[in-house]
Copies of this chain bind each other. A is one copy, B any other.
Amino acid sequence: MRMLRSSQADFETAFSRIVRDRRESDVQVGRDVAAIINEVRERGDDALSDYTARFDSHGLSQDVDWQIDLEECRAAYEALDSDLRDALETAAGRIRAYHEGQLPADRDYTDDIGMRLGARWNAVDAAGLYVPGGRAAYPSSLLMNAIPAKVAGVQRLVVTTPTPKGEINPLVLAAAHIAGVNEIWRVGGAQAVAALAYGTKRIAKVDVIAGPGNAWVAEAKRQLYGVVGIDMVAGPSEILVIADANNDPEWIAADLLSQAEHDPTSQSILITDSEALARQVEDAIDLALMKLPTAKTAKASWEAHGLIVVVDDLAEAPALSDRLAAEHVELMVDEPQPLFDAMRHAGSVFMGRHTPEAVGDYIAGPNHVLPTGRRARFASGLSVLDFMKRTSFIDASAAALAAIGPAAVRLAEAEGLPAHALSISTRLK
């Protein structure tokens, strides 16, 4: 953990370095991923079978090995402890309600020259969701990715997930049942992403691929962007907590650790105008780490990337926050609105002392798939729009074409595109 004061002489240099530091994997996965994509494109299911045997240690020799039956998902759902089932249902219901409010309106109007203009939204036909295996197989992620697709109106929602040694988290299956997933394939890694993008004999291709994954999965999505739509390029995640003196240090410590426990590359940052709170939070983190089951990961993250910035006045915080453009920003003050109004770049903002970031991870309703690594400067969280596309339309009457056609002819001629001009002028005769 590092502590900086905004008043110190080298603050600008030190803070700039932190803003530039992308904390991203140095692994040269690009070439490996390109080779895997090529293999899947050429050898299809045989390549999937080979990679699955090698990476996930299970065979795909028989038909039943490939897919998880939707009945298994229903069974996993029904076998859940009722408290947990209710919690998943509450989360799903709230996520659904929030995302229904994102559905875009079509446009259709006739303007002053009598030209009808507009745009119509449609869902994509099919979407693929990558669901990681092992410890990162989170039912909450499945809900956050699948529900927007279903709210958008996607008819075919396909999950691919690695099942190391054949195993899968039953909570993920239960979440798939709740979300209405249509197919679940037991393949993972870059090979699963390639199969979703190009299709194989068994797995029909999709139009959009979403969902978290390791560096190989992320690189495969990046390389296949354009062949399919993708949700975003995701990197290590981060939280920025902006807190005044009047906070319980244990609350703030828990919030910082909730990010740190995800991964050693996660980043937790506190900006406060209270040197005393800064010290107390530091101590509270050390104390909490002594009993936290995820202490190993959280400690590694906090030590390598943790940061406390002490400012003279919290009014300095929004500008610093905009430079970090963090995935999650907590405003732990009595009146968060003025701070929020002064900020421009953040994935999601958690306002007020009773809004820990984790409530947004699970149950508040807005999506927890958010832009990381300073990408909130230009990117947004996952939404129904990621599973939809817009078709614009133009309907010109003869009179409307007569009104503006001559100007278009002039422009086409000036650009040296005579067939463009002709297609209009021939209708103006």
Contact = CB atoms under 8 A, between A and B. Distances in A.
Given A117-B366, A407-B363, A351 B88 contact: no
A139 interface: yes
B258 A422 contact: yes
Given A359-B408, A421-B358, A251 B395 contact: no
Interface stretch (A43-51, A181-189, A412-420): A412-420
A333 to B, nearest CB: 12
Nearest to A109: B101
Interface string A32-76: 000000000000000000000000000000000000000000000
B419 A288 contact: yes
Contacts of A397: 352, 354
Interface string A337-380: 00010011111111111111111111111110011000111111
A405 interface: yes
B111 A394 contact: no
B86 A407 contact: yes
Contacts of A124: 377-378
B139 A393 contact: no
A134 to B, nearest CB: 11
A107 B101 contact: yes
A418 B366 contact: no
A381 interface: yes
B404 A389 contact: no
Contacts of A400: 354
Nearest to A389: B380
A55 to B, nearest CB: 22
Given A363-B404, A393-B349, A225 B228 contact: no
Contacts of A394: 348-351, 355, 359-360, 364-366
A356 B391 contact: no
A376 B390 CA distance: 8
A336 B394 CA distance: 11
Contact of A411 (B98, B233, B362): B362
A238 interface: no
Given A97-B111, A407-B86, A367 B392 contact: yes
A206 B376 CA distance: 13
Nearest to A127: B378
B250 A410 contact: no
Contacts of A196: none
A127 to B, nearest CB: 9
Contact of A408 (B83, B254, B362, B380): B362
A99 B66 CA distance: 47
A424 interface: yes
Contacts of A352: 395-397
A353 B395 CA distance: 9
Contacts of A423: 251, 254-255, 257-258, 356-358
A391 to B, nearest CB: 5
Contacts of A5: none
Contacts of A122: 344-345
A89 B14 CA distance: 48
12 contacts: A87-B407, A122-B344, A207-B378, A294-B417, A347-B391, A353-B427, A354-B397, A355-B395, A362-B412, A364-B404, A377-B389, A383-B390
Q: Which 8 pairs across A and B sit closest by C-beta, in order of nearness? A: A226-B233, A229-B378, A87-B407, A254-B423, A351-B395, A366-B392, A257-B419, A380-B390
Interface of A: 83-84, 86-88, 90-91, 94, 97-98, 101-102, 107, 109, 111, 115-117, 119, 122, 124-125, 135, 138-140, 171, 207-208, 222, 225-226, 228-229, 232-233, 248, 250-251, 254-255, 257-258, 260-262, 288, 292-294, 298, 336, 340, 343-367, 370-371, 375-381, 383, 385, 389-398, 400-401, 404-405, 407-408, 410-412, 414-424, 426-427
